[in-house]
């Protein structure tokens, strides 16, 4: 199947490589297309560079918006038409950094980023918050773990989005575990109790059940 990856930086490039190694066909897009072109050349035939963000969605079954939270709404607004009817997977943590590198949350304490993103999306878009639950390096080193696969947590309010996201998570070499609805997205983000955890399915389910 085909997935669009918009944003081919630190995280988007790792997601793209893992999905391509699992057999997914990719359509890549970035701000100025240079990083998308470099990544497509590394991946080979499974990846093509789209003309722009909108073109990336043409023929794609799903889109991963691997963008900083502060640019996410602008790209969603730009894509309102083509996004409707698609699965949107959002790994963004609601963070920003100042010139000194100090990181802060851009949403009020307790406000779930998943619910905020859902409010930005056009009607008919199926949303899952996923693939942003580990640092890029940990994500890359934990995929295809053996003998027990590592879990990638996700949240969604939409059953079909859940099924589609689980397929993508398995394609990337992880076992999917749903951590709840979008209101639970804070558990997945930096500072959340499920962030940067490398656990197997049994431990993951007990963490969810014990919350
Ligand atoms: N990096 C991690 O370890 C990690 C882990 C978990 C979650 N996350 C989350 O993942 C998101 C991305 O993080 P990152 O580290 O990958 O950031 P990044 O390295 O800065 O990459 C951001 C990407 O977004 C692209 N971009 C910016 N504006 C765009 C636009 N208008 N249209 C299309 N593409 C645009 C950039 O394009 P150019 O390449 O052309 O500049 C770049 O490829 C963040 O929200 C972060 O919280 C990151």
Q: Could you tell me if the CB of 64 is within 6 A of ligand 1? A: no
- Residue 186 and residue 122 in contact, taking contact as beta carbons nearer than 8 Å: no
Exposed, middle or buried by CB within 10 Å (0-12, 13-18, 19+), for 195?
Answer: middle
Asked if pLDDT for residue 210 goes beyond 90, the answer is no
User: Which tokens belong to 166?
Assistant: 């689980």
Q: Give me the mean pLDDT over the 84-88 stretch.
A: 96
Residues 6 or more apart in contact with residue 83 via CB below 8 angstroms:
57, 63, 76, 121, 122, 125
Look up tokens 């709840």; give the residue.
180
Asked if pLDDT for residue 17 goes beyond 80, the answer is yes
Asked if pLDDT for residue 211 goes beyond 80, the answer is no
- Give me ligand 1 centre to Cα 203, in Å: 30
Nearest by Cα to 145 from 178, 174, 102, 124: 174
Asked if pLDDT for residue 169 goes beyond 90, the answer is yes
User: Which tokens belong to 204?
Assistant: 């993951």
Q: Could you tell me if the CB of 10 is within 6 A of ligand 1? A: yes
Q: Specify the pLDDT at position 209.
A: 87
């Amino acid at each position: 199947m085909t997935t669009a990856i918009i944003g081919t930086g630190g995280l988007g490039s790792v997601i793209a490589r893992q999905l391509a190694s699992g057999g997914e066909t990719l359509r890549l897009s970035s701000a100025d297309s240079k990083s998308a072109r470099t990544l497509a050349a590394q991946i080979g035939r499974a990846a093509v560079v789209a003309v722009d963000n909108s073109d990336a969605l043409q023929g794609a079954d799903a889109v991963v918006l691997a963008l900083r939270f502060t640019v996410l709404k602008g790209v969603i607004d730009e894509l309102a038409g083509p996004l409707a009817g698609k699965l949107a997977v959002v790994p963004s943590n609601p963070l920003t950094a100042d010139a000194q590198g100090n990181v802060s949350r851009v949403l009020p304490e307790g406000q779930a980023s998943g619910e905020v993103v859902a409010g930005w999306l056009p009607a008919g878009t199926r949303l899952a918050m996923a693939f942003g639950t580990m640092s890029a390096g940990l994500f890359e080193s934990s995929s295809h773990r053996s003998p027990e696969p590592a879990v990638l947590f996700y949240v969604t309010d939409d059953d079909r989005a859940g099924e589609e996201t689980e397929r993508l998570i398995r394609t990337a070499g992880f076992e999917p575990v749903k951590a709840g609805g979008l209101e639970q997205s804070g558990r997945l983000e930096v500072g959340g109790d499920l962030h940067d955890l490398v656990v197997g399915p049994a431990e993951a389910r007990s963490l969810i059940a014990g919350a």
